[in-house]
Structures are given as C-alpha cells and as structure tokens.
C-alpha cells in the first residue's frame, strides 16, 4: 500500500490498515526508525480495561489444543 506525505507533514493510513489494527481517530503513535532506515510507527494503546493491555502478548495456542491441554503440557514439561 502506498500513501503520500502532505505539505503539512501528514500521512493518511489506508483504511485496511486502520481496520486491521482497530485504530480510531485520535490514536497516538510512537515513531522511530530502525537500522535499515525504515520508519516504524507503533500505536500507543492506553486501554480502559487493564487486561486489554495483555491482549495479543502470547502466541496463539497450537491448532486444536485447548487452554487446559496447553497448561497441562506446560506443567508436565517442568518436572
């Protein structure tokens, strides 16, 4: 996807990206560059729900595995 920088230094994020990341008007971003010279924009999320900050932190469970099975596997692996 391509976007254009305006004379005021503004960018428009394509609708598909906004929907995928659930971005709303007023979302703030942390903007940095990496070693390759790429611009990295990270949405700053300050959730109303303290648990929402943890959503997406863990990898998804393996296909077809329940959370109980996953925890059982973790516990038996520590013995």
| Beta-ladder partners of 65 | none
Cα(79)–Cα(73) distance, integer angstroms: 11
What per-residue confidence (pLDDT) applies to 22? 85
Residue 47 lies inside a defined structural domain of this protein: yes
The answer as to whether 66 is a domain residue is: no
pLDDT score for 49: 75
pLDDT at 78: 57
Count of structural domains, the chain: 1
> Distances in Å between the alpha carbon of 18 and those of 44, 50, 57, 76, 77?
14, 23, 20, 41, 40
pLDDT of residue 74: 86
Q: Which helix (H) or strand (E) holds 48?
A: none
R_g of the chain computed on alpha carbons: 19
CATH at 38: 2.10.260.10
Q: Give the domain extent around 6.
A: 1-58
Residue 78 in any domain: the answer is no
Residue 5, pLDDT score: 93
Residue 15 domain flag: yes
- Stretches in the chain below the pLDDT threshold 70: 47, 78-79
3-state SS, residue 62:
coil
């Amino acid at each position: 996807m391509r976007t254009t920088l305006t004379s005021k230094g503004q960018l428009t994020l394509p609708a598909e990206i906004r929907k995928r990341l659930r971005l709303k008007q007023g979302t703030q971003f942390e903007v940095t560059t990496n070693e390759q010279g790429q611009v990295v924009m990270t949405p700053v999320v300050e959730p109303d729900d303290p648990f929402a900050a943890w959503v997406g932190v863990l990898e998804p469970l393996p296909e077809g595995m329940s959370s109980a099975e996953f925890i059982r596997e973790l516990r038996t692996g520590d013995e």
